[in-house]
Structure 1
Amino acid sequence: MIRWLIALGLAVLASPLRAEPCRLALVLAMDISASVDEAEDALQRQGLASALLAPEVVEAFFSSPLPVALALYEWSGRTTQSIILDWTLIETQADLLSASSTVQRSARSHQGSATSMGHALTFGAAMMQRAPSCLFQVIDLSGDGSNNDGYGPHRAYERAAFANIVVNGLVINAADFEGELFLIPFFENNVLHGPGAFLEIAQGFEDFERAMRRKLERELSGQQIGAVQEGEFR
């Protein structure tokens, strides 16, 4: 009996779930391609900064004993990706407030070029390689257009780095006729990747904050294995 208890204790200590310092590594990818003008870019930045502090999002961030690792980069053409917020462990509300302030104060690094989703996703996967060790990895790709430069999402997903990464999408439906007929299906069929991947739709840039709030709440609330494991092993 004693041997069995010792073996059980060692198994618990060796559990990979127990060893992880966070439940979710979440990297947000923001579109700054040529189709996004300065006013629309500002709506994205301010909308995201506000969404991070929305009551339902704050509650979701701290719904588990295990924290979330958060990062943000902007993307456009093949070589126009720039980190806005590097990996930050959100352990307190002060951490979240600081992350929101960083986004709010950020300035566009490029005036925008083509829309290269495959390269943007590859950049996100590279960021995941140096993320804190977490139970889940999610890239959150938002955009108002489909891929028109370089390789597309499917080519990116052929890389081994995406084996454990889920990619969710946020369509900015700035032109109703294009979004309903082409852009939304494009995201559904090409961008979404991995088990449980989902799509959120913003009806124009003015709706970006609302859509981002819903998306963040769903992403953060959906990763609760860490909370269950932590409770079992106390």
Structure 2
Amino acid sequence: MRHILPLTLLLAAPAQACETALLLAIDVSGSIDRGEYMLQISGLHDALRDPEIAEILIRDQVALSVMQWSGTNRQSMVMPWQRILSPDALNRFATTAQTLPRAFDGSDTAVGDAVTYALQQFAQVSDCKRHIIDISGDGPENAGTNVARARTAATTQGVQINAIAIEDMGLSAPTTSFYKNWVITRDAFVMTARGLDDYPRTLRAKILRELIKPTG
């Protein structure tokens, strides 16, 4: 027989500490067409609904948020911070992510501005032990604040920046090299998606890697 705790006990139970605050920063610059945008948000939905990821999100009471970014002064928190405290909370977040309207169209790629804007959001989740920006992009910076300065600010603030580099099919990897050399922080990582079709698989692997507590 299943036992259900009285509501008063549930409300009195001490909240667990938030392990990770994870901000997902999605590229919606001019090089991302409508189909590619839809693939990104559906990939995010599927990753959040993955059983292994879902278990960690709820267990560690992870704080999630989503921003979209493109050119200079074009950044938007499309999903504010949400503590994932239950399966219902996760389902609501994933469902909303799947139907997100696109915030910007036809603009440049201001990676430094995106990182700077993302850093300002972590004051709202200061109790979380780890702060991570998960940024995706399909090209190097061509506008806005220099991303190297933004990376220095992230390091000073104790925020880790990881990246998904979306590359064309083939062997060349200019976007991966850009993110590796100029964007990610020390001890962070870049994962490469070969075309947008590979993005959902890469995003799942990346989020899982980010949520696993570091050892040593």
TM-score interval, normalised by the smaller of the two chains: 0.7 to 0.9
CA contact (8 A) 2:154 2:185 kept: no
Tell me the CA shift for residue 198 of structure 1.
1.0
1:39-84 Cα deviation digits (max 9, x unpaired): 100000111111110122113324x4x4100000000011111112
Q: Give the letter aligned to residue 203 of structure 2.
A: M
Where in structure 2 are the equivalents of 1:62-81 lying within 5 Å?
A: 62=58, 64=59, 66-81=60-75
Tell me, yes or no, if structure 1 residue 22 matches structure 2 residue 18. Answer: yes
RMSD of the TM alignment (CA)?
2.2
Tell me, yes or no, if structure 1 residue 208 matches structure 2 residue 199. Answer: yes
Tell me, yes or no, if structure 1 residue 191 matches structure 2 residue 183. Answer: yes
Structure 1 residues 214 and 186, CA gap change in structure 2 (3 angstroms): same
Partners of 1:162 and 1:72 lie apart in 2 by 22
Q: TM-score, normalised by structure 2?
A: 0.87
Q: Give the letter aligned to residue 62 of structure 2.
A: V
Hey, which bits of structure 1, 4+ residues long, moved more than 6 A? none
Percent identity, aligned pairs only, is: 34
2:54 aligned to which of 38, 53, 58: 58
Structure 1 residues 45 and 86, CA gap change in structure 2 (3 angstroms): same
**Higher relative contact order (Cα pairs below 8 Å, separated by 6+ residues):** 1
Partner of 1:171: 165
Q: Give the letter aligned to residue 57 of structure 1.
A: I
CA contact (8 A) 1:22 1:134 kept: yes
Secondary structure of the residue that 2:125 maps to in structure 1? coil
Partners of 2:16 and 2:179 lie apart in 1 by 31
Structure 1 residues 160 and 75, CA gap change in structure 2 (3 angstroms): closer
Tell me, yes or no, if structure 1 residue 129 matches structure 2 residue 123. Answer: yes
Is the helix fraction higher in 1 or 2?
A: 1
Partners of 1:30 and 1:210 lie apart in 2 by 16
Partner of 2:10: none
Partner of 1:108: 102
Tell me the CA shift for residue 32 of structure 1.
0.2
Tell me the CA shift for residue 21 of structure 1.
2.9
Partner of 1:40: 36
Partner of 1:232: none
Partners of 1:28 and 1:118 lie apart in 2 by 15
Q: Give the letter aligned to residue 199 of structure 2.
A: F
1:111-132 Cα deviation digits (max 9, x unpaired): 1300000000001001112225
Tell me the CA shift for residue 93 of structure 1.
1.2
Tell me the CA shift for residue 94 of structure 1.
1.0
Tell me the CA shift for residue 158 of structure 1.
3.4
Tell me the CA shift for residue 184 of structure 1.
1.2
Partner of 1:143: 137
2:148 aligned to which of 129, 154, 163: 154
CA contact (8 A) 1:23 1:68 kept: yes
Tell me the CA shift for residue 189 of structure 1.
0.7
Tell me the CA shift for residue 161 of structure 1.
7.6
Q: TM-score, normalised by structure 1?
A: 0.80
Aligned residues: 203
Partners of 1:169 and 1:92 lie apart in 2 by 27
CA contact (8 A) 1:26 1:140 kept: yes
Tell me the CA shift for residue 174 of structure 1.
2.8
